[in-house]
Amino acid sequence: MPDPYLDIRELRTLLDGGQCSASELVEAHFARIEHINPRLGCYLRLHEQAARDAAADADARIAQGERSPLLGIPIAHKDIFCTKGELTTCGSKILEHWRAPYDATIVERLAQAGVVVLGKSNMDEFAMGSSNENSAYGPVANPWDESRVPGGSSGGSAAAVAAGLAAAATATDTGGSIRQPASLCGVTGIRPTYGRVSRFGMIAFASSLDQAGVIARSAYDVALMLRAMAGFDTRDSTSNERGVEDLDDLIANDGALSSANLRIGLPREYMDALKSAGYAATLDAARCELESLGMRFEDVSLPSTFAAIPAYYVLACSEASSNLSRFDGVRYGHRGEDAESLEEVYRSSRSEGFGAEVKRRILTGTYCLSYGYYDAYYKKAMRVRRVIRDEFARAFESVDVLLTPSTPGIAFKRGELAGDHIAMYQQDCFTTPAALAGQPCLSMPCGFDGGLPLGAQLIGPHFSDARLLGVAHAFQQATDHHRQRPAL
């Protein structure tokens, strides 16, 4: 069995060199998943037959001399993405038996790139959560410490990559759902510029914030995956028409940036808010490393950073209250039994189908949009959003990239924040500002605290995704934090 922690480029060498077939790779992954997944809960479902078929197809194509970066690479899809003919639950009871009749755009694109989909990964229900404790199908454990959370909402994707159960996994980020679990699980995850990756077929939580991305073992692997996923999609009106030449260039350059003399900003507000001394020391070490690679640092200020959390929760909940109205028990999904009236159909279907956090956010959002409250909440939050966007724009006049912590600290214990919603929402304090502004941002492993991984966040101007990946790649060439493995 090949090493389950090989990255995509290493797997490519094995596959193209004939040392290992895609089929063997799939079997090895299934064996490891069978062994480890019961403890971690990363996968909700495996697509065993489809994966074997895809692997056989990849093997045939490789044998015929086809060379393609992702051909035969085993990945997982977050269960928020529609996969044709397969269950797509979004971590919710309300979609327990729902089979999507179509593929999400990114599912389609990755299939065209030749990936092998092992199965669907666990997540917080409707991507609402920062600990993966809100999944209707059970929590996910952090591979570094099974008593701790992997983060959320893409907890299954991050943990699967960290545990060697997939080479990469798709993920989504509304307020931090890629970067926070990537940070807590010691893997690399990007939230691309809003509009860079199609949202078609990705079940909506908060449309103006939802962004599909990817989690993998290295920045270079992330670039390979993102290259296949990104680009304009006529089926998503908010997708951007810009091409993917920047990612092509990065990949063609072997991950190397064309310019090493980047100016990196350290936002004062983020650093001041970081309470963990260990984390601060780790970030400082990362900064020294980047300096030694030729990057220059300077302090910047983003004064409205901490208005982001309330604004984010108002906007995300408002949009969610509307987006989740379609789950009414009428056409598909869970329907409450024995309902005597229309209102009872709604009440029982939604009461039984949705979990507590989803209900909390629907209620919050409905309230924020209500007559008489709209201006005080939604409109004000939109103003905050504009201010935050403007502050980022101003910061990027003087620096090329921002370096910040990804999370307040290491992974917390399962149940530790249960009941303390505000503390839970504070998990996103470093990730929501960039989400509100639509900036590209990533989290990369930058060290450990008490044996648990920590991430550094890079934030860039709109459409600087390749630059962020280039910085992360340079950092990973010089360090081995991303090469560390949990003891499983």
Active site residue: 21, 130, 177, 318, which one? 177
Q: Contact between 99 and another protein (CB under 8 A)?
A: no
In the list 261, 272, 277, 331, the residue contacting another protein (rule: CB under 8 A) is 331
In the list 140, 206, 219, 474, the residue contacting another protein (rule: CB under 8 A) is 206
**Can you say whether the dihedral through the CA atoms of 300, 195, 78, 203 is positive or negative?**
positive
Q: Contact between 104 and another protein (CB under 8 A)?
A: yes
Name the minimum Å distance from CB 257 to another protein: 32
Q: Is residue 259 annotated as part of the catalytic site, yes or no?
A: no
- Is 480 in a helix, a strand, or coil? coil
Q: Contact between 199 and another protein (CB under 8 A)?
A: yes
In the list 73, 160, 161, 202, the residue contacting another protein (rule: CB under 8 A) is 202
Q: Under rule CB under 8 A, how many of the chain's residues touch another protein?
A: 44
**Can you say whether the dihedral through the CA atoms of 409, 414, 415, 421 is positive or negative?**
positive
Q: In Å, what is the CA distance from 42 to each residue of 74, 146, 173, 178, 301?
A: 15, 12, 17, 15, 38
Q: Which is nearer to another protein, 199 or 217 (CB)?
A: 199
Give the residues across from 114 on adjacent strands.
none
Q: Which is nearer to another protein, 3 or 344 (CB)?
A: 344
Give, rounded to a whole angstrom, the gap between the first and last alpha carbons of the chain.
17
Compute the half-sphere exposure of residue 88: CA atoms within 13 Å on the CB side of its CA.
22
| Only segment of 18-26, 68-76, 196-204, 417-425 that touches another protein (CB under 8 A) | 196-204
Q: Contact between 100 and another protein (CB under 8 A)?
A: yes
Q: Which is nearer to another protein, 347 or 360 (CB)?
A: 347
Residues 299 to 328 in contact with another protein, rule: CB under 8 A: 318-319, 321-322, 324-328
Active site residue: 23, 121, 153, 218, which one? 153
**By CB neighbour count within 10 A (0-12 exposed, 13-18 middle, 19+ buried), where does 221 fall?**
buried
Q: Contact between 457 and another protein (CB under 8 A)?
A: no
The DSSP line for 299-346 is EE--TTGGGHHHHHHHHHHHHHHHHGGG-SSSSSS---TT--SHHHHH
- Is 247 in a helix, a strand, or coil? helix
Name the minimum Å distance from CB 102 to another protein: 6
Convert 396-411 to b/e letters by CB count within 10 Å (16 or more is b).
beebbbbbbbbbbbbb
**By CB neighbour count within 10 A (0-12 exposed, 13-18 middle, 19+ buried), where does 272 fall?**
exposed
Q: Contact between 98 and another protein (CB under 8 A)?
A: yes
Q: Contact between 101 and another protein (CB under 8 A)?
A: yes
Q: Which is nearer to another protein, 55 or 204 (CB)?
A: 204
Q: Contact between 194 and another protein (CB under 8 A)?
A: no
Q: In Å, what is the CA distance from 303 to each residue of 4, 167, 387, 401?
A: 44, 39, 10, 17
The DSSP line for 348-395 is HHHHHHS-HHHHHHHHHHHHHHSTTTTIIIIIHHHHHHHHHHHHHHHH
Q: Which helix (H) or strand (E) holds 40?
A: helix 22-40
Q: Is residue 237 annotated as part of the catalytic site, yes or no?
A: no
Q: From the centroid of its chain, how far is CA 338?
A: 39
Please tell me the distance from the alpha carbon of residue 33 to that of residue 121, in angstroms, as a whole number: 12
Name the minimum Å distance from CB 34 to another protein: 29
Q: Contact between 463 and another protein (CB under 8 A)?
A: no
Name the minimum Å distance from CB 315 to another protein: 9
Give, as one character, the DSSP assignment of residue 193.
Answer: P
Name the minimum Å distance from CB 216 to another protein: 23
In the list 69, 181, 201, 213, the residue contacting another protein (rule: CB under 8 A) is 201
Q: Contact between 437 and another protein (CB under 8 A)?
A: no
Q: Is residue 154 annotated as part of the catalytic site, yes or no?
A: no
Residues 332 to 391 in contact with another protein, rule: CB under 8 A: 332, 342, 346, 366, 369-371, 374, 378
Give the footprint of another protein on this chain (CB under 8 A): 81-82, 88, 90, 95, 98, 100-102, 104, 199-204, 206-208, 234-238, 318-319, 321-322, 324-328, 330-332, 342, 346, 366, 369-371, 374, 378
Residues with catalytic roles: 78, 153, 177
